[in-house]
Chain A
Amino acid sequence: AQRVTQPEKLLSVFKGAPVELKCNYSYSGSPELFWYVQYSRQRLQLLLRHISRESIKGFTADLNKGETSFHLKKPFAQEEDSAMYYCALSPGGGATNKLIFGTGTLLAVQP
C-alpha cells in the first residue's frame, strides 16, 4: 500500500537549533517526493521536491531509497519557520499526479 508516515505531530526547537522533520514512505515503484508547508493563515504551498535537489529557505531533503525516507532538514531554525509541514508522495505514471500526504508535523521554533 502507498503510505506516507510523519511520526511527529509536533516538533519544538529553539531558534538557531538544527531541525529534522521525519518522513518515511511506503511505495514499491519510483515515487516523486515533496514537502509542502502551511504558514499560519496562509494557503498550503510547495516547499521543495526531491527531483529539484535544491535548497529552499535553507531547507534541504534527500531521498534515501534504501531507508525509504525523505527527511526535511535545516541547520539553523528561524522563528519564521514555524508552520505545519506535510510530506507527500506522487506515485507517478498514469494520467494524473495525485498526491498522498502524511499527517503533518507542526514545527514550533521558540525564541
Chain B
Amino acid sequence: DVKVTQSSRYLVKRTGEKVFLECVQDMDHENMFWYRQDPGLGLRLIYFSYDVKMKEKGDIPEGYSVSREKKERFSLILESASTNQTSMYLCASSSSLVRPQHFGDGTRLSIL
C-alpha cells in the first residue's frame, strides 16, 4: 500500500518565520504535489514536481517555494509566513499519468 507521510499533523508558527513542510513517499513515485485545502475553496494546487530537482508552479504558488532533492521527498517552504497561509496542507504522489494520486494525512498550519 502506498504510504505518503507528512512530518507534522499540526504546526503553529509566527508571522515572518520560514516554515518547512515535509512529505515523504515510499513507492518511488515520479510525481509529487502540494495542495492547500480551505473551506469553500476545495483543494488548490501550489506546486508539483515530476522528477528530482524538477518543479512546476500550480495555481497559487505565490509566497511558497519547493524543493525536491531526492525522489522520495518533496518539501514545501513558506519563505516568510503570513496569516493568510493558515490552512490545511496536503501532499500527494502518483507514479504516472494514468495512476491516481495518493494523499498524506495533511498538516494543519496556523500562522499567528
Query: Is A43's CB under 8 angstroms from B98's CB?
Result: no
Determine how close the nearest CB of chain A comes to the CB of B107; give it in whole angstroms: 12
Interface flags for A70-111 (1: CB within 8 Å of B; 0: not) read 000000000000000010100011111111111110000000
Total number of A-B contacts with CB less than 8 angstroms? Answer: 59
Task: Decide: B42 and A99 in contact? CB cutoff 8 A.
Answer: no
Whether the Cβ atoms of B100 and A101 lie closer than 8 Å is no
- The answer, among B33, B45, B106, for a CB contact under 8 Å with A43, is B106
Contact A46 B101 (CB under 8 A): yes
Contact: A101 with B44, CB < 8 Å?
Answer: yes
CB within 8 Å for A101 and B42 given contacts A43-B104, A44-B103: yes
Q: Does B109 contact A (CB under 8 A)?
A: no
Size range of the chain B interface in the assembly: 20 to 34
Contacts of B94 in A (CB 8 A): 97
Chain B residues with CB below 8 A from A43, complex form: 103-106
**Contact residues, B19-42 vs A (CB, 8 A):** 30-31, 33, 35, 40-42
A103: chain B residues within 8 A (beta carbon) = 40-42
Does B61 belong to the interface (CB within 8 Å)? no
**Using a CB–CB distance below 8 Å, which chain A residues touch chain B?**
6, 9, 32, 34, 43-46, 49, 86, 88, 92-104
Taking A93-B97, A97-B94, A101-B44 as given, write out 5 further A-B residue pairs in contact, using a Cβ cutoff of 8 Å, ordered by the A residue number: A9-B40, A43-B103, A98-B33, A98-B48, A101-B35
